[in-house]
Structure 1
Amino acid sequence: MTDSLPQERRFLAALRDDRWPEPPNECSLEAVGLDAEGLIELFESQLTSRHLDLHARRLQARGEGFYTIGSAGHEGNAAIARAFRTSDPAFLHYRDAAFMIQRSRAVPGQTPIRDLLLSFTASSEDPISGGRHKVLGSRPLNIPPQTSTIASHLPKAVGAAHSLGLWRRLGGGGEWPTDSVVICSFGDASFNHSTAQGALNAAGWAAWQGAPMPLVMVCEDNGIGISTATPAGWIAASMRARPGFHYLDCDGLDLRDTWQAAREAAQVARLRRQPVFLHMRCVRLFGHAGSDAQQAYLSAARIESDEARDPLLISAGLLRHHDVLSRDAIAERYRAIGDRVAHEAEEAIRRPKLESATQVMASIVPPARAGRQQPWRGEVEASPAPMGRLINQALHRLMTRYPQLVMAGQDIGRKGGVYGVSQRLQAQFGPHRVIDTLLDEQSILGLGIGLAQSGLVPILEIQFLAYLHNAEDQLRGEAATLSFFSAGQYTNPMVVRIAGLGYQKGFGGHFHNDNAIAVLRDIPGLLVACPSNGAEAVGLLQEAVRLAEEEQRVVVLLEPIARYHARDLLEEGDDLGCCADPGPDYHLAVGELGQWGEGGDLAIVSYGNGIHLSRQAAVRLEEAGVALRLIDLRWLTAIDHDALHCCVAACSRILVVDECRRTGSLSEELVTGLVERGVAGGRLARLTAEDSFIPLGPAATVTLPSVSAIVERALALLGRSEA
């Protein structure tokens, strides 16, 4: 066996002397329903996890390993794994290697030692992430990967649990059996994160109202988050009387107690369909990670006390106390597993690594699947209507054609949305498919991610763009990364409708008029669309659902609030802002541009409200003798810059009108793309919003592009003046 590290010498000393801690209590194996073979199996899973932790540090010291946040002290979660079915989805904390190792015992053909070592060494053969990150995950084991650093996986676990009851009502067909239980584990430090608290609140809120919520949230409480201590008793005091939850606790150092509590948690969640909070007390050994020198903030006495509570010492003591294994048998298992890990590690470091940007990015866009839509046999309303009405008609049509489509958002059901865009949908399709959620955007997005991972296709609504910002990590850190971190094995396709941008009248201020979209545009793999009229809104929405259903994409549809109910374009009563419903087969593909006019003097490139303003400005510009064309981007990510260049190259001048803020705006990308394709800088100009929040009242539009500003900038670019 490889030379021992300081962290394992206490165990080796106890093994040498056959001196182990006294069992925490005199409870028999039979009393907790655990036999001798089961205890041995759990102990071997613990040993395997520990040897992997130790060898990760050896590999790091050699420059061959790249991840040392280990599971030492948390290995009792092996007993939790054994208490659940392998078909129960598990969203795991990064210290749960023993859980994964234990679960792999029940599924033939698994190689957890090899798999985890390939992950430690960032090999492209790592079966879950392909070498992109060290994550605990496995498709055969129903363990979707996540980094779990700030409990950002908890909201989607709530969504996954909700999906099980929904699939039962729909007659089955989801990713997991409808009698499954969702397991979600996290640490005591991340328990305090607002994301965790939001998820706990959402689960309890749903359960309080009788909604099925078969969820077990496992808090692995080691008493410290890196260097910050968790106050004694804080977790228990916070959760014992939490509405909607069953609280259970266990000694995570004692396999018997953990096994008994985990079985009870599984039974409550599976039979009662209610959420359980399983509080597992454990210990953190070896510091937070390989780079963490815990002696800088913990006393030598505290470190020694923690090491004396090593769950491997206690488990070995149980084996000896119950006469299950001899000292020599324990020693042989320790040696054999250590040798196997060392041997597999030498193989793992020789396996290939990712070598190019193409390889790294290969799984950002998920693999496609066959569509499940049904043919449309209804009628299409022919009368021109404003954007909000056309979106409503399209949603009715989509919900009919896609039985697996589910809508969720605050006030979208009985009220029909703040702007009435989702009116009558809940009455037609029921509250199980048009879900009125609580007021918490990260829970809304997390619900959607969990629903999507179960095989449904959610359309989520965020009431206002400004409300997204407190929850945007659910898109950045969870929704858009799942395919990347699972090498395309897991996806969470979804459509997020967000009412936003400026120019709405009678209801303003920066919380309801927000033009900050940079955070959406820099998320790899995320698609963002923005319509300028009702027909485009239908085409983009229908394409967004197709992209989610067939191509497994995450798509944001940014809907300009000011255009929802606007009927006119040039003068009151002209109804030129209305469109006819283009029908069920109308789709605007990613990158597909719109164009008005063929003039060669000036091209105006814009989107959303900018198109509306530019069409108004076009009347004055044409009166001034300007021959122009107007290009509508429609898609604000995955822009086809070559197609855009083709559309505007023949024009003498090009003006980009961007209603979003000048810094970090879309206009920066557009101008750069044109310059890279040979357009001289002197031919280009941009008109943007100021780098400002939007005020209330009459000043609500003064920081935004206007018709007059467009005309003025266009004529200045052309060297002309208005007649």
Structure 2
Amino acid sequence: MSQLLEEQPAVSTMTMIQALRSAMDVMLARDPDVVIFGQDVGYFGGVFRCTDGLQARYGKHRVFDAPISEGGIVGVAVGMGAYGLRPVAEIQFADYFYPASDQIVSEAARLRYRSAGDFTAPLTIRMPCGGGIYGGQTHSQSPEALFTHVCGLRTVMPSNPYDAKGLLIAAIECDDPVIFLEPKRLYNGPFDGHHDRPSTPWTDHPLSQVPEGHYRVPLESASVYRAGSQLSVITYGTMVYVAEAAARETGIDAEIIDLRSIWPLDLPTIVNSVKKTGRCLVLHEATRTSGFGAELLALVQEHCFYHLEAPIERVAGWDTPYPHAQEWDYFPGPARVAAAMQRAMES
């Protein structure tokens, strides 16, 4: 027994910021082809400090700043990936990706297909996303649905430190381009849906226990965050904790599926859950119309129709630009989610 204990990897309590930094640290040390760059990610360590200290450890040729040009950042990353490097490019806020959309869609996503497999684009694009800083419509968007529409891209959004590190390592090692979305509201602690800031430190959360070394969380793999028998909640990112709060307050035995990898999707985990519970709620922070929830709803309808005992519920953000002063009203909270849960149970 003592020998088995000694073989266990070292584990540390980490915030999501620390877990992401640890993932990049591990990969910089492990693979000389990994490079990290973006606006202010070098000496300053990133606007959210995710890359703090990495330039000092690995040098300016491995971790470096880029001009304020998202198209240039992603274009350089595509070229690096095509010639054998594994770049990790940071877009300072997900809202800023639009100038780089042609490079992402027309170059990164299509390179493998256009070259008949002769070239790949093994690049990871990190983007802080969603609300949490009252940044309004230019710093708080959740554009994941736009990326899932593009063939050739993978889209990932972790909800906790353990998954954040394992998914980022898997993304860096993947030969396909990965859009890695990081919910700003979860950077420093879990979120119960009732406060502007984390309600408890990550030290109190079981998924804050993160192995210090190398490990992967498989891409395309969802997680059953909370087991239940009455209702399936399909969600990801910050909304995992809002769903948990709503289930706790209503007393409904809800099963919460954390997608983790938004696309490609772990459809079997979703289908198995909905067939078990017979009811489904789809939840995300992004705008409702044409949000990724619409795709989830359609898939559940296609695969679980004869098992459904009630209409599928959907809770999302407003169909409006993200408001500055009214961020909290825009953000789906436990009250809205609880009401949808009750409707599903009463149908």
2:248 matched to 1:619? yes
**Deviation of the 1:572 alpha carbon:** 4.4
Out of 268, 290, 293, the position equivalent to 1:642 is 268
Out of 166, 181, 184, the position equivalent to 1:561 is 184
**Deviation of the 1:573 alpha carbon:** 5.5
Out of 475, 479, 483, the position equivalent to 2:108 is 479
Give 3-state SS (helix, strand or coil) of 1:423's partner: coil
The 3 A distance-change label for structure 1 pair 650 and 391 is: same
2:310 is matched with: 682
Give 3-state SS (helix, strand or coil) of 2:261's partner: coil
2:77 matched to 1:451? no
Amino acid at match of 2:268: D
**Deviation of the 1:678 alpha carbon:** 3.2
2:323 is matched with: 695
2:159 is matched with: 532
Q: How does 1:458-607 map to 2 (within 5 A)?
A: 458-502=87-131, 504-505=132-133, 507-547=134-174, 552-566=175-189, 569=192, 571-572=199-200, 575-577=203-205, 579-607=208-236
Q: How does 1:39-118 map to 2 (within 5 A)?
A: none
2:288 is matched with: 662
Q: Deviations over 1:261-316 (max 9, x none)?
A: xxxxxxxxxxxxxxxxxxxxxxxxxxxxxxxxxxxxxxxxxxxxxxxxxxxxxxxx
**Deviation of the 1:575 alpha carbon:** 4.0
Given that residues 35 and 62 in structure 2 are in contact (C-alpha distance below 8 angstroms), is that contact kept between their aligned partners in structure 1?
yes
For residues 226 and 180 of structure 2, the distance between their equivalents in structure 1, rounded to whole angstroms, comes to 26
**Deviation of the 1:567 alpha carbon:** 5.3
Q: Deviations over 1:580-611 (max 9, x none)?
A: 11344432222211113332111111000111
Give 3-state SS (helix, strand or coil) of 1:592's partner: coil
Give 3-state SS (helix, strand or coil) of 1:586's partner: coil
Give 3-state SS (helix, strand or coil) of 2:282's partner: strand
The 3 A distance-change label for structure 1 pair 404 and 572 is: closer
2:279 is matched with: 653
1:404 is matched with: 33
Given that residues 122 and 172 in structure 2 are in contact (C-alpha distance below 8 angstroms), is that contact kept between their aligned partners in structure 1?
no
Given that residues 660 and 689 in structure 1 are in contact (C-alpha distance below 8 angstroms), is that contact kept between their aligned partners in structure 2?
yes
**Deviation of the 1:688 alpha carbon:** 1.1
Given that residues 569 and 576 in structure 1 are in contact (C-alpha distance below 8 angstroms), is that contact kept between their aligned partners in structure 2?
no
Higher share in strand: 2
The 3 A distance-change label for structure 1 pair 443 and 646 is: same
1:143 is matched with: none
Q: Deviations over 1:47-91 (max 9, x none)?
A: xxxxxxxxxxxxxxxxxxxxxxxxxxxxxxxxxxxxxxxxxxxxx
TM-score, with structure 1 as normaliser:
0.44
**Deviation of the 1:636 alpha carbon:** 1.1
Higher radius of gyration, 1 or 2: 1
Q: Deviations over 1:80-125 (max 9, x none)?
A: xxxxxxxxxxxxxxxxxxxxxxxxxxxxxxxxxxxxxxxxxxxxxx
Given that residues 567 and 576 in structure 1 are in contact (C-alpha distance below 8 angstroms), is that contact kept between their aligned partners in structure 2?
no
1:193 is matched with: none
Give 3-state SS (helix, strand or coil) of 2:55's partner: helix
1:220 is matched with: none
Question: Relative contact order: is structure 1 or structure 2 higher (C-alpha 8 Å, sep ≥ 6)?
Answer: 2
Out of 320, 324, 341, the position equivalent to 1:714 is 341
Give 3-state SS (helix, strand or coil) of 1:619's partner: helix
Name the count of aligned residue pairs.
Answer: 332
> Which structure 1 residue ranges, 5 or more long, are not aligned?
1-378
Given that residues 407 and 434 in structure 1 are in contact (C-alpha distance below 8 angstroms), is that contact kept between their aligned partners in structure 2?
yes
Given that residues 247 and 253 in structure 2 are in contact (C-alpha distance below 8 angstroms), is that contact kept between their aligned partners in structure 1?
no
* RMSD over aligned Cα atoms: 2.0
**Deviation of the 1:473 alpha carbon:** 0.8
> Which structure 2 residue ranges, 5 or more long, are not aligned?
1-7, 194-198
TM-score, with structure 2 as normaliser:
0.90
Once the two structures are overlaid, the 10-residue window that deviates more, 484-493 or 411-420, is 484-493
Given that residues 603 and 654 in structure 1 are in contact (C-alpha distance below 8 angstroms), is that contact kept between their aligned partners in structure 2?
yes
For residues 396 and 515 of structure 1, the distance between their equivalents in structure 2, rounded to whole angstroms, comes to 27
Q: Deviations over 1:235-272 (max 9, x none)?
A: xxxxxxxxxxxxxxxxxxxxxxxxxxxxxxxxxxxxxx
**Deviation of the 1:447 alpha carbon:** 1.0
